[in-house]
Amino acid sequence: MDSFPFISPLLQLTLLAWSVAWKGLALWNASKNSQKNWFIVILVVNTVGILEIAYLFRFAKKRMVLNDLRFWKSKS
């Protein structure tokens, strides 16, 4: 085990939260848009959010934009 680099638990937890958040958003979006193939690939392949982000912003039927990620919208 000495050959493995030490990764802090905080970094591990941060990467886990990042990955789960993007995976959940991408799976929900693929399911909502009836994109079964994308749903299966996103579910099986773990890329720490890279595939999920690519799907959401490039390959989804209704592509996301950064403003879609805002939790609140100003009432201008």
- pLDDT at residue 8 tops 60: yes
43-58 confidence digits (pLDDT tens):
998 888 888 888 888 8
- pLDDT at residue 5 tops 90: no
Average pLDDT (61-65) is 80
Q: In sequence order, what DSSP letters do the residues of 20-54 get, joined into one string? A: HHHHHHHHHHHHHTT-HHHHHHHHH---TTHHHHH
pLDDT of residue 36: 94
Q: Does residue 8 form part of some domain?
A: no
pLDDT of residue 71: 61
The residue among 68, 56, 62 whose CA lies nearest residue 22 is 56
- Rounded CA separation 51/11 (Å): 20
Q: Does residue 57 form part of some domain?
A: yes
Q: Does residue 6 form part of some domain?
A: no
Q: Does residue 37 form part of some domain?
A: yes
Contact 33, 60 (CB under 8 A): yes
Print the domain residue range for 59: 14-64
The residue among 53, 49, 50 whose CA lies nearest residue 19 is 49
Q: How many domains does the chain have?
A: 1
